[in-house]
Structure 1
Amino acid sequence: MKDETLATHSCPWEKVLGYRYDPESDSISLVQRTCDPNLATKRQILSAASSVFDPLSLCLPVTIQSRILVGEMWKANIDWDDPISKEMQERWRLLASDLSALHSLSFRRQVLDSDTVADLYIFTDVSKKTYGCSVYAVQGGISSLIFAKANVAPLKAKTLPTLELLAVFFFAVKCLSNILRAYQGTKFGSLYLAVDAQIVLTWLMSKQTSHKNIFTKNRLKDVTQWYLQITTLLSGINMCLPIRTLRT
């Protein structure tokens, strides 16, 4: 370059938005992190687990396990520098090995073609320990994970339908607007929201609930308001996207 500002290096990959990018294969992967399997306190384990950076949650089935483990430490009233139980130490030993190996997984950088119509599928699911969602784009018969999000269930116990509604609202709903903006150049045919709880589908379709729980009623109200907001957003970016619900 004329201004002599071009930087070169011998490394085969670049670091882009926290991921490792391989220009030859046009793929991304997590930056390598080595987690010490012999850690024995909540502070040490939380610090090590937090060093694994995965903003798109492409490796969520593994990374969420560390948050579940730390959550159980909180429930057990384990202080920051108190030694954890032998059972937790063994779980961390196995998890540390998995976390350290995540860099070996690679994902295609470009998963969508702007010239071909694609459909969006949002799957929500819950358990007693976690709730979350995953977003897939299907184009030309090929399905690709483009985003995922999960959280540890609240310390105060909630029913599974309530957690399912949390997953729909906090993740599927709140993240969708950002996903649509990020893919404004892509033509989408339909958006499918898949929920495996019939009662939650009934709530969503009827926009009302006989549930006496104020928390549940408020979340349903939030989802209803979101539907109006997302319709306005789609209109603003000139995108016609029918929203359908599926029972899985």
Structure 2
Amino acid sequence: MRFIIPFTTRAKVIIQDLWKHNLGWDDPIELLHLRESWLTWVGELPTLTKLQFPRAYTPASADNPSAIRELHVFSDASERAYGSVAYLRTTDDQGQVILTFVLARSRVAPRKCLSIPRLELCAALTGAQLGKVIQTELTIPVHKVTFWSDSTTVLYWLTSESCRYKVFVGTRVAEIQTLTEMSEWRCVESSHNPADHITRGLRLTELAGHHQWSSGPAFLIQSPDQWPSMPKTEGEPDCNELLKSVFIATVSVPSSSLPDPSQFHTWQELVLATVKSLHGVATTDTDSPTEASEYIEAEKLLLAQAQMESFPIAWADSYGVLVTSN
């Protein structure tokens, strides 16, 4: 059930540091701080035999159909690791609350440096996935699921449309929104977040005793009206993840008023017909006076229309706009 993840994640981080220095499996650890960290971790292994945690989620007195069961999933991240942990909160007929450790998972942060909000989002995704797995695999009914995060930025992202953000954030927000409902997410302070122990690590002696990791956060024993509430936020908490706005203008070149070139035998006839159509002259009266500028205007319109129809992409690029015709 990955009860000792705060301990094993410490080893994952050490191994990642060894890889960063291109050390093989059989190479000696020359770096003093890494060797001391590794030997300290190995020295704690004998304490594993002292670890105990109950296999039953609830005592027999609370194992009945009238009991109310809630799943609470906490997530957290740091520069080195992120993960999530789940607890089952059971309320029996007398109103007594029992908290039990269910499952946890962790990941080492990628070598490519990511911002803390992005890592917190990755942690929230592991929490959403963990909640889905537990609900699918548990044979006992779960009446309510609550997800907890200490990142107000992530909670804000989850209230928005995923298409507003860059690919990294948008895809993860979309998956979380598919697996969970926004009403299921709540904010918790880091000091009350048991998933914080995944990122900071714990010694086996701490896991062997009474600890928040094994017993769950104390506030869940209280009534829901005393649980942490969402702090007020003003505006977008992290504008760097928003997609940049792109302005697209449209230039419409009317073509319905211009004559059809296929109906004329010569360029001169087409230009003359264009001049008359532009000025609303329906007849072919050649005695009407026409200025030279009108012929020039007609020729420009005909050439522009031909260019737009024959080379639409080049036409759009030359003006920096999207060109359409009516």
Superposition TM-score tier, normalisation by shorter sequence:
0.5 to 0.7
Whether the 8 Å contact between 1:118 and 1:137 is mirrored in structure 2 is yes
Question: Matched residues in 2 for 1:209 and 1:131: separation?
Answer: 25
Question: Matched residues in 1 for 2:186 and 2:132: separation?
Answer: 20
Deviations 1:107-138 (CA, angstroms, capped at 9, x unpaired): 11111335311111110000100000010111
Q: CA deviation at 1:206?
A: 2.1
Whichever residue aligns with residue 86 of structure 2, its letter is V
Q: CA 1:120/1:150 → structure 2, altered by over 3 Å: closer, same or farther?
A: same
Bigger fraction of residues in strand: 1
| RMSD (CA atoms) | 2.0
Q: CA deviation at 1:223?
A: 1.7
Question: Matched residues in 2 for 1:123 and 1:103: separation?
Answer: 27
Question: Matched residues in 1 for 2:161 and 2:150: separation?
Answer: 17
Name the SS of the counterpart of 1:206 in structure 2.
coil
Question: Matched residues in 2 for 1:184 and 1:243: separation?
Answer: 24
Question: Matched residues in 2 for 1:103 and 1:210: separation?
Answer: 50
Give yes or no for the alignment of 1:149 onto 2:98. no
Question: Matched residues in 2 for 1:75 and 1:137: separation?
Answer: 38
Give the match for residue 96 of structure 1.
42
Q: CA deviation at 1:151?
A: 0.8
Higher Rg of the two aligned structures: 2
Instruction: State the aligned residue count.
Output: 177
Whether the 8 Å contact between 2:128 and 2:147 is mirrored in structure 1 is no
Match of 2:136 among 181, 191, 209: 181
Bigger fraction of residues in helix: 2
Give yes or no for the alignment of 1:204 onto 2:144. no
Question: Matched residues in 2 for 1:73 and 1:110: separation?
Answer: 39
Question: Matched residues in 2 for 1:135 and 1:57: separation?
Answer: 11
Whether the 8 Å contact between 1:127 and 1:160 is mirrored in structure 2 is yes
Whether the 8 Å contact between 1:123 and 1:133 is mirrored in structure 2 is yes
Work out the percentage of aligned pairs sharing the same amino acid.
Answer: 26
Runs of 4+ in 1 over 3 A off after TM superposition: 207-212
Question: Matched residues in 2 for 1:209 and 1:118: separation?
Answer: 35
Give yes or no for the alignment of 1:246 onto 2:186. yes
Question: Matched residues in 2 for 1:75 and 1:219: separation?
Answer: 27
TM-score by length of 2: 0.51
TM-score by length of 1: 0.66
Match of 1:217 among 150, 158, 170: 170
Q: CA 1:96/1:196 → structure 2, altered by over 3 Å: closer, same or farther?
A: same
Give yes or no for the alignment of 1:111 onto 2:36. no
Whether the 8 Å contact between 2:80 and 2:109 is mirrored in structure 1 is yes
Whether the 8 Å contact between 1:162 and 1:216 is mirrored in structure 2 is yes
Q: CA deviation at 1:100?
A: 2.8
Which runs of no fewer than 5 residues in structure 1 stay unpaired?
1-55, 229-241
Whichever residue aligns with residue 94 of structure 1, its letter is T
